């Protein structure tokens, strides 16, 4: 079973306006709602690809109930921990004149007892299971929350996938995560210098493997992705270019899902399925669908 963890999920409420006047009344021309958070995005794409998985994380209030219903309606099993206080965030995205202004809420506080319940869930995971930790840790939790969770799993046969930034990522490399997927900006932040060009990308990936990661994917948006696999073999693929980019948020999460879904069929297939899932998300308003991914896969030799 693959488990994803989303500490601070959100309902994204996207409102479109021709233009926005500050301090005045603005009437939207359309509204869309998305249920998300990085772990949930991974879960949704896994489910689209027919991979059974469970979304874990924390929800609160009536918005939490709605989020859970929405995520389940997308075919994802959930086992969220309900917090007694606060409410799951609604993040408002104001889209006007080709720009999106994001109004993001902080989200509910996660108390110690609820965090302990997540540890109980990870303790119950079985040999061969995979856990995906994606995104940042809410401010209410100690910065070493990922590290503590992963340290506890480290002597067990559980694949750990981490898609996070800076120290959150570097601090866990010693526990030999199965997969990490920094993008170029994250890579630059980790190494404290702007990373550009394939030679530098390769060098950084090699260093991250030396630091402990088993598989390293460096995603480069519309420039494709590079994989340094667990055997030290290098793979590169250009991105799909057959669609129009509409909204690339979540492309990285989709790529993680595609890679996991394709892993048993070999590294090249897994990487290409990751690229297809990422592109299918970038080419649509929300997250990739099975149909869109299949359509892109038809263009490949797989
Ligand atoms: N505009 C695009 N056109 C085609 N493919 C894309 C595009 N954007 C992303 N992808 C695909 O998705 C993969 C992951 O995207 P990206 O590098 O933007 O991840 P990310 O920055 O981690 O995104 P996020 O954190 O928002 O999920 C890319 O390697 C690429 O294969
Ligand atoms: Mg990302």
Determine if ligand 1 sits within 6 Å of the CB of residue 275.
yes
The pTM (predicted TM-score) of the whole model is: 0.97
For residue 38, the model assigns a pLDDT of 96
Determine if ligand 1 sits within 6 Å of the CB of residue 225.
yes
- Write out the chain in H/E/C secondary structure: CEEEEECCCEEEEEEEECCCCCCCCCCCCEEEEEEECHHHHHHHHHHHCCCCEEEEEEEEHHHHHHHHHHHHHCCCEECCEEECCCCCEEEEEEEECCEEEEECCCCCCCCHHHHHHHHHHHHCCCCCCEEEEECCCCCCCCCCHHHHHHHHHCCCCCEEEEECCHHHHHCCHHHCCCEECCEHHHHHHHHCCCCCHHHHHHHHHHHHHHCCCCEEEEECHHHCEEEECCCCCEEEECCCCCCCCCCCCCHHHHHHHHHHHHHHHCHHHHHHHHHHHHHHHHCCCCCCCHHHHHHHHCCCCC
For residue 85, the model assigns a pLDDT of 97
Measured by CA distance, the residue closest to atom 23 of ligand 1 is 252
For residue 129, the model assigns a pLDDT of 98
Around ion ligand 2, residues with a beta carbon closer than 5 Å are 252
Reported as half-sphere exposure (CB side, CA atoms, 13 A), residue 42 has a value of: 31
Task: Supply the CATH classification number for the domain 1-141.
Answer: 3.40.1190.20
- Per-residue pLDDT tens, the chain, 302 aa: give them: 999 999 999 999 999 999 999 999 999 999 999 998 999 999 999 999 999 999 999 999 999 999 999 999 999 999 999 999 999 999 999 999 989 999 999 999 999 999 999 999 999 999 999 999 999 899 999 999 999 999 999 999 999 999 999 999 999 999 999 999 999 999 999 999 999 999 999 999 999 999 999 999 999 999 999 999 999 999 999 999 999 999 899 999 999 999 999 999 999 999 999 999 999 999 998 999 999 999 999 999 99
Ligand 1 atom with least separation from CA of 274 = 31
Instruction: Give me the residue spans of the domains in the chain.
Output: 1-141
For residue 240, the model assigns a pLDDT of 98
Q: Choose among 18, 16, 24, 25: nearest CA to 95.
A: 16
Q: How far is the CA of 65 from the centre of ligand 2 (A)?
A: 26
For residue 194, the model assigns a pLDDT of 97
For residue 204, the model assigns a pLDDT of 98
């Amino acid at each position: 079973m693959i488990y994803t963890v989303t500490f601070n999920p959100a309902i994204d409420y996207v409102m479109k306006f021709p233009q926005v006047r500050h301090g005045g009344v603005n009437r939207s021309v359309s509204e869309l709602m998305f249920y998300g958070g990085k772990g949930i995005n991974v879960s949704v794409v896994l489910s689209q690809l027919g991979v059974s998985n469970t979304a874990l994380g924390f929800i609160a209030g009536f918005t939490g109930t709605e989020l859970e219903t929405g995520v389940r309606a997308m075919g994802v099993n959930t086992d969220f921990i309900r917090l007694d206080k606060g409410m799951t965030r609604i993040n408002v995205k104001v889209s006007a004149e080709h720009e999106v202004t994001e109004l993001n809420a902080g989200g509910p506080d996660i108390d110690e007892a609820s965090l302990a319940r997540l540890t109980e869930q990870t303790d119950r995971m079985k040999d061969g299971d995979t856990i995906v930790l994606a995104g940042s840790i809410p401010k209410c939790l100690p910065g070493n929350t990922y590290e503590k969770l992963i340290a506890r799993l480290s002597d067990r046969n559980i694949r750990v996938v981490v898609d996070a930034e800076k120290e959150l990522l570097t601090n866990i490399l010693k526990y030999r995560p199965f997969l990490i997927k920094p993008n170029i900006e994250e890579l630059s932040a980790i190494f404290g210098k702007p990373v550009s060009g394939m030679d530098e990308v390769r060098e950084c990936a090699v260093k991250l493997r030396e630091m402990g990661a088993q598989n390293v994917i460096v995603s480069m948006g519309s420039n494709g992705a590079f994989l340094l696999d667990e055997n030290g073999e290098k793979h590169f693929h250009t991105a799909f270019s057959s669609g129009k980019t509409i909204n690339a948020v979540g492309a990285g999460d989709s790529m993680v899902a595609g890679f996991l879904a394709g892993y048993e069929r070999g590294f090249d297939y897994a990487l290409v399925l990751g690229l297809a899932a990422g592109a299918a998300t970038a080419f649509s308003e929300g997250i990739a669908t099975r149909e869109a991914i299949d359509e892109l896969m038809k263009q490949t030799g797989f």
